[in-house]
Each structure stands twice: as C-alpha cells, then as structure tokens.
Amino acid sequence: MARSRQSILLAFAVGAMAAVLLASPAAAKSYNITKILAAHPEFSKFNAMLSKTRLASDINRRQTITVLALDNSAMAALDHYTLPTVRHILSLHVLVDYYGNKKLKQLSRGATASASMFQSTGTASGMSGYVNITSHKGGKVEFVSQDADDTVKPSRYVKSIKEIPYDISVLEIASVLSSSEAEAPVPPPAPVDLIELLSKKHCKSFAGLISGNADVFRTLNDTKDNGLTLFCPVDAAVAAFMPKYKNLTTKAKTAILLYHGVPDYFSLQLLKSNNGMVSTLATTSEVKKDYSYDVQNDDKKVTLVTKVVTSTVTATVGDSEPLAVYAVSKFLKPKELFKVAQAPTPAPSKKGKKEAGDDDDSSDDEDSDDATTDKGDAAPAVYGRWATAAATAGAVLALLMA
C-alpha cells in the first residue's frame, strides 16, 4: 500500500510539472496560412487570392480556425467575380472553429453548423454566413452554405492539408461553396477625401502634416481603396509632439507619418477581438526596418504599443470598408527613431533616469535592446511557472519522505 501511495504521489508531481510547463508561452503556436499553402503548388491560385483579398492576414490573426482550400481548377469558378465579391465568397470558406480530419469523422449525430468569417465579421445577414457540415457513412463528409439553393450540390471533403491542433486546420474541398449573399455584387467604395475626413473630426493638425508631405499624401491615397487603417493622433497629441517632430530629418518625418497607417482594413470589432503585431506603411517603405507595433485590447479598450509609447484609440473618425480611421491619444513613436522605454527595475539606482522614449530628440538613433525589452514581460511568467512546478514537486517529495 505504501509503495502504491508513493507511486501515485510521484505521478502527481510529474503531471503537475508537465501541466505547468506546457502552459508556458514557449508552448504557444503560431502559423502563417501563406507559408502553409506555399508548400502545395496545386493551391497557388487560392493562396494568391487570400493575399489579394487581405484574408490571409485576417486568418493569421485568428485563433482556432479552419480553412477550406480550393485547388487551382476549382478556383476557376471565381474568375468572373470582382475582388470584393471574391473576398466575401472566400471568407465563407474560413470557419471560425477547428475541424481536423478526426473531428469531421466523429461529428455528433453526423452533422453540425459552423460560423464562417463571412458571418463573424458582420458582413452576412441572418444565418447566411453559416456552413453546414455532414458526415456520412463510409467517411464521406460534405459542406454546404446555410443559404444555398436546394439544387446546389454540396462540396465534398477531399483531404487534410495541414493541422495544428487546435489552432488551424487546412482542408481541401472539391468545389466552391455557393451562397447567394456572398456572391452578390459588392458596390465600389464611395470616394473619400482623406484630408477633409481628418479635418472634420479630431485630427485637423495631423491632416495638415499629411497634406504637407507629398510622399505620404500620395501613399495614403493610393492605399485607401485597397485596404487602409489609419491611426491619427488627436490635435493635442500633435501639439505635444511638434517640438520633436520639427527636429526630425525629412526621411524620418515621412517614416513616422507612414507609421500611423496599416495597409489593411480593421473594423473596430476586429481590433477589439484580436491582439498581435501589425506591419505599417513605413515597414514597406523602409528597407531592413521593422516599423511595426502591437495592437492590444482589454475589454473595450484598444491600445497600440510601440515599445516607446502606448497610445489608446479614443474615437472612430470613419469606418467604411476598405478604409478605417481612428483617433488615438498619443503620437506613435517607433523604436527605429526613438529609444525604447525601459521596463522599471525592482531596485532603481539612486541616479534616477528619465524614460528614454519621452526625452529623446534623436531622429537616427538605433535601438539595440529589443531582445531585452521583449523578454521583460515574458521572463517573469516563465520563471513563475518553473517555481510553481518546483514547489509542487517539492511538496510531493516531502510526503514521499514522510
């Protein structure tokens, strides 16, 4: 009996350590749908269209998702649709739940319905963005959209392409899912005068900076019809930053203004439901420069974290796909131009230091402490898990010795 008790306690200790350590950030998975499909040339057209419609970046930001991929021959059915309509159709092929090969074959009662990205983004009305999944005897699985006509033939499941349980599953289906609502023509976006829009709501000073920089003005206008999210500092934030802005080089002024633009459309709903790094227009304009920042949300608040400053979304200036403009509380300062704000230390030195991000006027300083900054928040959590695991194991071992 004593030996049995010891075995149980030892197994508990090992299990506790494994559970704690597996919960660490190192165990977190990430994926890139473009890279996954790049290994399969028979899906090259589907892959290219995910990028053109900006669905690829939407997929990569999601957690727990299933992509229903179409091979090159099946994609021919979409040739006559406009790009905005193709986006709606393909978003119906992205399910916001995980369905691997095993789960498909073990559906409760042989059938289920799953919401698609077409539904979850609020584009579809009613139940038209749902996809019905049916598992038949013999392992046959079929997909059909909720609003498909009765004469529409379901699309057959072909095979699993890639599965990362329970983050992403990429499955091949034989044909395009038909949906009258997804296939409906999408009207072209109404012309938008970006400077006028900014000037009317919260961002008149920022509008002046944009209109005064020909390169930035041209880039924003060339991008806005294909997907653009612009974060404009409110007038008070621009006024506070102007002394530093005036000291920047011409190249740095262009970069920091482009830094406020993300070449993708983000509705407020999407900003509030997803966290992650985003690339900016400055990223594409500067060779070997990152110029990205982290979008974070806490309940209803959305913040932009650049490692130099944290800015909060305060209002919606305009939101009509493919253009979204949001007012933010602070001027966004990239680490490529300003020193990174150091995390507070447990025992600060007697010689107090001001935050480098708030006291640096340099336009060309390169930061070399990115790795230290990145580890600042993650390391304590990892060490804490190790400590918890060690304490648990120690307590159990003490019982074994008793």
Q: Is the pLDDT of residue 369 over 70?
A: no
Going by the DSSP 8-state scheme, the letter that residue 342 receives in this structure is P
DSSP structure class, residue 287: T
Q: Are 306 and 335 in contact (CB under 8 A)?
A: yes
pLDDT band at 158 (very low <50, low <70, confident <90, very high): very high
- In DSSP notation, 187-204 reads PPPPP--HHHHHHHTT-H
Q: Which residues contact 174 (CB under 8 A, 6 or more apart)?
A: 74, 155, 156, 157, 158
The answer to whether the CB of 248 falls within 8 A of the CB of 337 is yes
Alpha carbons 266 and 324: distance in angstroms, whole number? 7
Report CA-CA distances (Å) from 377 to 25, 73, 178. 11, 48, 46
**101, 105, 102: which is closest to 137 by C-alpha?**
105
Whether the pLDDT of residue 327 is over 60: the answer is yes
Please report how the helices 370-401 and 2-22 are oriented relative to each other, as an axis angle in degrees rounded to 10: 170
Q: Do the Cβ atoms of 69 and 46 come closer than 8 Å?
A: yes
- Give me the residue label for tokens 């010689």: 351
The predicted model gives 297-322 an average pLDDT of: 92
Radius of gyration of the chain (CA): 26
Model confidence at 41, pLDDT cuts 50, 70, 90, reads very high
Q: Whose structure tokens read 């289906």?
A: 173
Q: What is the pLDDT of residues 260-290, one digit of tens each?
A: 999 988 888 888 877 888 999 999 777 678 9
pTM (two decimals): 0.60
Residue closest to 311 by CA, chosen among 289, 326, 290: 326
Q: What is the pLDDT of residues 224-267, one digit of tens each?
A: 988 899 999 999 999 999 999 999 999 999 999 999 999 988 88
DSSP assigned state of 308 = S
Q: Where are the alpha helices (DSSP H) in 201-247?
A: 204-211, 214-223, 235-247
In 3-state terms, what secondary structure has residue 389? helix
> What's the full length of the chain, in residues?
402
Q: What is the largest CA-CA distance in the chain?
A: 83
Structure tokens at 364: 């060309």
Q: What angle do CA 121, 125, 126 make, to 5 degrees?
A: 115
Computed over every residue of the chain, the mean pLDDT equals: 81
The one-letter amino acid at 99 = Y
Phi and psi, residue 316, nearest 5°:
-95, 120
